[in-house]
Amino acid sequence: MLKITEGSYAVAEAVRLCRPQVISAYPITPQTHIVEALADMVANCQIDAEYITVENELSALSACVGASAAGSRTYSATTSQGLALMFEVCFNAAGMRLPIVMTIANRAMGAPLSIWNDQQDSISLRDSGWLQFYAEDNQEATDLHVIAYRVAEDHSVLLPALVCFDGFILSHTYEPVDMLSQEDVDNYLPKFSPYERLDAADPISFGMYATPDYYLEFRYEIDNAVKRAKDVITKAGKEFGTMFGRDYSALVEGYRLDDAETAIVAMGSICGTAKDAIDEMRDGGKKAGLLKIRVFRPFPSEEIAQALGKVKRVAVLDKNISLGAKGALALEVKDALYGSGIPVKDYILGLGGRDVRKKDIKEIVALLEKGVGDQFYGLRKEVL
């Protein structure tokens, strides 16, 4: 059913339909509307979940670790500083192979303090073993939650998953979203069946310590599981398409890319802006296209290499920066295209909520054509 709703409410509604049994979260801008909406659903018996109002984000995710290990489907949501406070628990949850799903309303990292959007927060978690999905719009943000549970809980994966959508730009925007029904989600998402759980009838130990004789193999197994998630995502995304008409089988999605000479690579809401800019550039005779990265972990290197194999040049738009190096997406796109000879330039932009407009995308394409890149874009030189 098509409904005009705020992104945060749409996400909360999707989470409700997934029937989490334990929700544990702490308020932080711009994630608050999600956890407020869920609290309201609990207060009105629209969702049958234990809602733990914890004292900070570290405890929010820690409670999810306990609840997931005890055999419940769990949910949390956070952003930026809150995610940073969870950092230690994030690695722990992945290491213990607990399929927690968490929404990130992407926001910049302080200092200086900024409540506005970029993707530095979740990108900084790239090495933690969490799957990472990035939504272009609120329809995708909503659907990806349902898919994330399905993939995370798959016994060949068993990993936690982040569903990232841009703070304010998506979280606070009203747009039409086709809402699934409870029946739809129940048909698509099986009941949580933990591979192992804390159970007095069958005692096991979770979270033991590993000597150097075992640790390396544990990490290898986790890495394999993240990589195995690729096929599971493809299958789950395809089935979603068959059932509901929106196919998410591809980890990356091309837009007017088939005959493109110039490709833009981006993640999140900026893709919508890029598509409009590309349409206008195409009208002007420029062969531009977009490759949207929907799944950042597992990283779709082969898919990217294949999708960009015929382009002449690539501009990567990074709403993050690995300070002292480059944007995280560019680093990995360059790795994916290594040896192809295709020039890849990186543009760090939109940090801390700086607006990115169609004309910026066009300007970046012009810079790329001149071979100018691997730099910040849109700096206000007068304040430097």
Partner 1 sequence: MVDKTLELFDCGHRACGGCGASLAARLVTKAAGRDAIIVSSTGCMEVFSTPYPETAWKVPWIHSLFENAAAVASGIEASLKKQGRSEKVVIMAGDGATFDIGMICISGAFERGHDFTYICYDNEAYMNTGIQRSGATPYDASTTTSPAGSCSFGNKLPKKDMPRILAAHGAPYVATASIAYPTDLMQKVERAINTKGPCYIQVHAPCCTGWGFEGEQTIAIAKLAIETGLWVNFEMVDGKVTKVKKVVKKPVEDYLTTQKRFRHLFKPKRQDAEIAFIQSIADKNAEKYGIEIKLKKE
How big is the site for partner 1, counted in residues (CB under 8 A)?
43
> Judged by CB under 8 A, which stretch of 64-72, 176-184, 250-258, 367-375 contacts partner 1?
64-72
Shortest Cβ 157–partner 1 spacing (Å):
20
Per-residue x/- marks for partner 1, 12-31, CB under 8 A?
A: ---------xx-x-------
Q: Please report whether residue 10 would count as binding partner 1 according to CB under 8 A.
A: no
Phi, psi of 353, rounded to the nearest 5 degrees: 90, 5
Q: Look at residue 59 and give its three-state secondary structure.
A: helix
Distance CA(320)–CA(123), nearest Å, equals: 7
Q: Look at residue 367 and give its three-state secondary structure.
A: helix
The count of other CB atoms within 10 Å of the CB of residue 301 is: 14
Shortest Cβ 131–partner 1 spacing (Å):
20
Q: Please report whether residue 125 would count as binding partner 1 according to CB under 8 A.
A: no
Q: Please report whether residue 45 would count as binding partner 1 according to CB under 8 A.
A: no
Using CB under 8 A, which residues numbered 213 to 242 contact partner 1?
214
Q: Residue from 32, 39, 42, 70 that binds partner 1 (CB under 8 A)? A: 70
Q: Are the C-beta atoms of residues 89 and 61 closer than 8 Å to each other? A: yes
Shortest Cβ 87–partner 1 spacing (Å):
11
Both tokens of 33, joined, read 């509307």
CA distances in angstroms from 373 to 197, 248, 344, listed in the order given = 50, 31, 8
Q: Residue from 27, 32, 36, 66 that binds partner 1 (CB under 8 A)? A: 66
Per-residue x/- marks for partner 1, 80-119, CB under 8 A?
A: --------xx--x---x-----------------------
Q: Please report whether residue 211 would count as binding partner 1 according to CB under 8 A.
A: yes
Q: Residue 216 carries which side chain, given as an amino acid letter?
A: L
Shortest Cβ 54–partner 1 spacing (Å):
6
Q: Which of 168, 41, 242, 304 is nearest to 51 (CA)?
A: 41
> Judged by CB under 8 A, which stretch of 61-69, 126-134, 154-162, 358-366 contacts partner 1?
61-69
User: Which sign does the torsion angle of CA 344, 347, 348, 351 carry?
Assistant: negative
Q: Please report whether residue 47 would count as binding partner 1 according to CB under 8 A.
A: no
Q: Residue from 2, 4, 44, 209 that binds partner 1 (CB under 8 A)? A: 209
Distance of CA 8 to the CA centre of its chain: 15
Q: Is 29 left (phi over 0), alpha (psi -120 to 50) or beta?
A: beta
Q: How many residues does the chain have?
A: 384
Q: Which is nearer to partner 1, 200 or 384 (CB)?
A: 200
Q: Please report whether residue 352 would count as binding partner 1 according to CB under 8 A.
A: no
β-bridge mates for residue 51, sequence order: 23
Distance CA(194)–CA(152), nearest Å, equals: 11
The DSSP call for residue 383 is G
Q: Residue from 4, 55, 112, 245 that binds partner 1 (CB under 8 A)? A: 55
Per-residue x/- marks for partner 1, 168-207, CB under 8 A?
A: ------------------------------xxx--xxxxx
Q: Where are the alpha helices (DSSP H) in 213-252?
A: 215-244
Site of interaction with partner 1 (CB under 8 A) = 21-22, 24, 48-50, 52-56, 58-60, 62-72, 74, 88-89, 92, 96, 198-200, 203-211, 214
